[in-house]
């Protein structure tokens, strides 16, 4: 058996390894495979260890998580999968690297719309896909996603790659609400309103607004929090200061949200500890720690948001089940290509 300290170093250092059958069976451990940056989840890991005495080992991967676990097979040390985006959670389930979990504690704390009906994944926090708007040039205080295709925004809209998972999630929600035919026409209108070809990330959309390249952009709420609090790059604070957040469809169905989430790994060698960790993450205390760290909204009803997030104003989340969004992601992706969204406006 590999000693616990060596396994921990292997995990933390993201060293490629293939575990032997008994490698991760040491008492008092849980092994976490994470798409989230280590610094974002470390406070949660520390609190869990403090409360339970169970040592949590974290392996961070920026890609290939599902393929990694599948390749490791029954010898995989993975106990818990942490990731962002409903697409990646469904990918883990469809990739056969998760197993169902029935926990009264988790089901009590996490609303049904944020968990897989079969218990193979659970949401932890949400982020709104909102509109960043210029404080100087956009007097509007309300907007809908549907309005993004209105010609009044021609040449004034920026966004990142239309095929990025954040945008595909939003477009899939439009398919779920309106159907593919409507969404195709809507995406064509959005395309013609673009100020340039989709490019960059969410933060660079805020930069473009400050530079006057566009007046509105699609972005996730938490990036604003990250920019506001970025002490290492004062320029990002300036980008955030130049923009305001508009929560689309606040007056009707609500703003599209995506999630960070968790799943129980298929072969979890430390299953009991994995369940304890997952139940801890679903708790109010952990959700508030997580939300404070990543500037997202806890899924637990009534859980406190960070002061930074509270400053954005209230969010009314779309109640559309995430499973409905996941079911329409392929159609949304095909429509992005069909209308040539990433090619930018025709003139």
The binding site for Fe cation consists of 222-223
Q: Report strand pairing: 98-99 vs 257-265.
A: antiparallel
By C-alpha distance, which of 108, 89, 107 is closest to 98?
Answer: 89
By C-alpha distance, which of 90, 82, 94 is closest to 116?
Answer: 90
Angle value at C-alpha 321, between 63 and 281, nearest 5 degrees: 55
Q: Which residues contact 346 (CB under 8 A, 6 or more apart)?
A: 191, 192
129: phi then psi, degrees, rounded to nearest 5: -90, 95
Tell me the binding residues.
Answer: 222-223
By C-alpha distance, which of 165, 169, 217, 220 is closest to 195?
Answer: 217
Q: How far apart are CA 283 and CA 304, in angstroms?
A: 12
By C-alpha distance, which of 321, 347, 339 is closest to 183?
Answer: 339
Q: How far apart are CA 288 and CA 305, in angstroms?
A: 7
Query: In the chain, where do the E strands start and end?
Result: 29-34, 55-60, 80-84, 98-99, 122-134, 157-158, 216-220, 243-246, 257-265, 297-298
For 69, the token pair is 């676990």
Q: Which residues contact 297 (CB under 8 A, 6 or more apart)?
A: 125, 126, 127, 128, 221, 257, 291, 305, 309, 315, 317
Q: Are residues 220 and 166 in contact, defined by beta-carbon separation less than 8 angstroms?
A: yes
Question: On the CB side of 326, how many CA atoms lie within 13 Å of its CA?
Answer: 21
Q: Are residues 44 and 36 in contact, defined by beta-carbon separation less than 8 angstroms?
A: no
């Amino acid at each position: 058996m590999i000693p616990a300290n060596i396994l921990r170093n292997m995990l933390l250092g993201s060293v490629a390894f293939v575990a032997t059958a008994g490698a991760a069976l040491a008492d008092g451990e849980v092994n976490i495979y994470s798409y989230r940056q280590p610094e974002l989840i470390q406070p949660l890991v520390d609190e869990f260890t403090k409360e339970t005495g169970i040592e949590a080992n974290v392996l961070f991967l920026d890609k290939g998580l599902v393929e990694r676990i599948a390749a490791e097979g029954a010898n995989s040390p993975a106990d818990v999968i942490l990731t962002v985006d409903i697409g990646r959670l469904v990918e883990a389930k469809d990739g056969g690297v998760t197993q169902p979990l029935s926990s009264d504690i988790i089901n009590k704390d996490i609303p049904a719309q944020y968990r897989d009906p079969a218990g193979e994944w659970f949401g932890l926090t949400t982020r709104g896909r909102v509109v960043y708007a210029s404080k100087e040039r956009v007097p509007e205080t309300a907007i809908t996603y549907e309005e993004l295709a209105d010609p009044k925004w021609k040449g004034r809209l920026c966004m990142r790659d239309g095929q990025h998972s954040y945008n595909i999630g939003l477009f899939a929600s439009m398919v779920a609400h309106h159907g593919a035919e409507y969404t195709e026409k809507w995406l064509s209108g959005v395309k013609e309103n673009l100020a340039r070809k989709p490019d960059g990330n969410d933060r660079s959309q805020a930069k473009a607004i400050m530079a006057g390249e566009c007046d509105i952009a699609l972005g996730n709420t938490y990036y604003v929090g990250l920019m506001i609090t970025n002490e290492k790059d004062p320029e990002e604070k300036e980008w955030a200061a130049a923009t305001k957040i508009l929560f689309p469809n606040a007056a009707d169905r609500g703003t599209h949200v995506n999630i960070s989430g968790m799943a129980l790994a298929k072969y979890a060698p430390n299953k009991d500890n994995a369940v304890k960790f997952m139940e801890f993450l679903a708790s109010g205390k952990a959700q508030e720690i997580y939300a404070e760290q990543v500037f997202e909204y806890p899924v637990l009803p009534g859980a406190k948001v960070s002061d930074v997030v509270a400053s954005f104003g209230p969010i009314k989340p779309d109640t559309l089940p995430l499973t409905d969004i996941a079911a329409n992601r392929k159609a949304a992706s095909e429509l992005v290509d069909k209308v040539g969204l990433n090619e930018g406006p025709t003139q």
